[in-house]
Structure 1
């Protein structure tokens, strides 16, 4: 199978690998100088930090696809904005934009694999005939690799990606409007094929989002009740029903807006990312697993975050 790819698009895709390599280098260097955390945020928006005239438009060049799962890149994209934050310093180390998302798509998942590769899930938000590209996962490596996710129904989306400690990629599948039922899935990083993990059973009437794994192997997620209150939940493979740990709250006030991301540091500290309803920007919080109390660390203008690894 072959696709048309202009030199401009090829150059823009090549930029992704260099951007991510720079982020990895910067965060690793910073970590060597301070015990603070290294966090990477992602969002989509207008193109910034990219010279769109550097590679002139020319006749298209046909590139041979090495796998039938490759995705055509002749799309009208928005930018993926990658930023790096060192908590405790509030230092933006990089802010680059790379074009991979169409206007009718959303970033539904973001994580870092055990080898340091960033992975983003991109999901169509409409069901119109214009929806040419299905849900896919893109590995922001050099070179960039994109795989169509197989096994999803038209009204479903893949979100809350998690690169596990043992090298797997897992996620949560639910309806595109975020409503149940929610299923835990394993994703093949070579083919994009999805398989359901039956060991954990989620409530059929409550929203589940975000996945985090701590160094001890324990998995955590967040559950949003019908009134908007958000509950911290632990997943135990030996116990099908999720273990409710406590209601999330800030300064005694119940958290009322779900979370954008949930991650766990190398020391086992659980971190939540989001904002209370009608408030901006999103903030990184440390979370007490026993009480659900959230302590603000840093504001961070991003959509989702992950912990840099590798």
Structure 2
């Protein structure tokens, strides 16, 4: 397969939509008079079961909560989030198993509309989608953990019609590192993070276009360690997202406040600049 992938709270408008609504278009129309790019985040309501999507207008700070009438089950966690063809895909993974207890539900991908995504085919019980990316050429690319969110990790494509998970052999992820947070620019550059046992998260580029001359495989290019207030991060960010104008955003809680915040990321130095609180678990832009 060829991949061209180079607690101040603003006023909220409570609007419930039918599950068949094209969510990206809905929020775009709602914010049309205010302008500014819209960043989407996914989280859970107070019950810890019902999924909610938050549409954040980056120009005005206004947030539009959207009830998508989807839920997760006990034993599941939100593990990835991406926009596909006027809707969203939310991946879940099994929570870590306690001694003597079985894992919860197997990993799956939930559609934000009634157009369901089939159950994954080809995943072991402990495997989980740790990142999802709908690429510029409309492939659903994923990084998958093979053992409950811990290394080793592998790249895979997911067939949205059959649910078949096809692991890719043309990129090697180091067996002792955690890889996640895929995002892609309009120009085709694909970023993510890499986290090792003795290092904090590093911003990396997955280069599928300029492959290794020796192996013919895609290259993983380290860019810079992620930092905030001149301090290197210890834990990984919750997610990365690239805006239509090629601005990289990170969702993280580097000061351990218990609530995620949104940061602008310098793609040359890895330095993160605080933008605002954003109490969601994953983020994405629509195309």
The TM-score, its normalising length taken from structure 1, stands at: 0.77
Matched, 1:26 2:27: yes
**Is the contact between residue 43 and residue 80 of structure 1 (CA under 8 Å) also seen in structure 2?**
yes
Say whether residues 1:272 and 2:250 are aligned partners.
yes
**8 Å contact 2:263–2:276 — kept in the other structure?**
yes
Offset at residue 15 of structure 1 (A):
6.2
CA positional deviation for 1:99: 4.0
Q: Deviations over 1:222-251 (max 9, x none)?
A: 011223511000011114341000011112
Alpha-carbon shift at residue 274 of structure 1 (Å):
1.2
Extract structure 1 runs of 4+ deviating beyond 4 A.
Answer: 126-131
Please say if 1:218 is aligned against 2:189. Answer: yes
- CA-CA distance at 1:17 after TM superposition: 1.5
CA separation of 1:25 and 1:174: change in aligned 2, threshold 3 A: same
Partner of 2:19: 17
Partner of 1:134: 106
CA shift digits 1:39-90 (9 cap, x unpaired): 111112435xxxxxxxxxxxxxxxxxxxxxxxxxxxxx92112211111322
Name the CA distance, whole Å, in 2 between partners of 1:260 and 1:187.
22
Question: How do 1:1-310 and structure 2 match up within 5 A?
Answer: 17=19, 21=22, 24-31=25-32, 33-34=34-35, 36-47=36-47, 78-96=49-67, 98-113=69-84, 115-125=85-95, 131=104, 133-141=105-113, 143-237=114-208, 238-239=211-212, 240-276=218-254, 278-309=256-287
Query: What TM-score does the superposition give when structure 2 sets the normalisation length?
Result: 0.83
SS at match of 1:147: coil
Q: Quick check: 2:250–2:264 contact (8 Å CA) kept in 1?
A: yes
Paired residue secondary structure (2:246): coil
Gapped runs of 5+ residues in structure 1? 1-13, 48-76
Partner of 2:215: none
Q: SS of the counterpart of 2:198?
A: coil
1:176: Cα distance to partner? 4.2
Aligned residues: 262
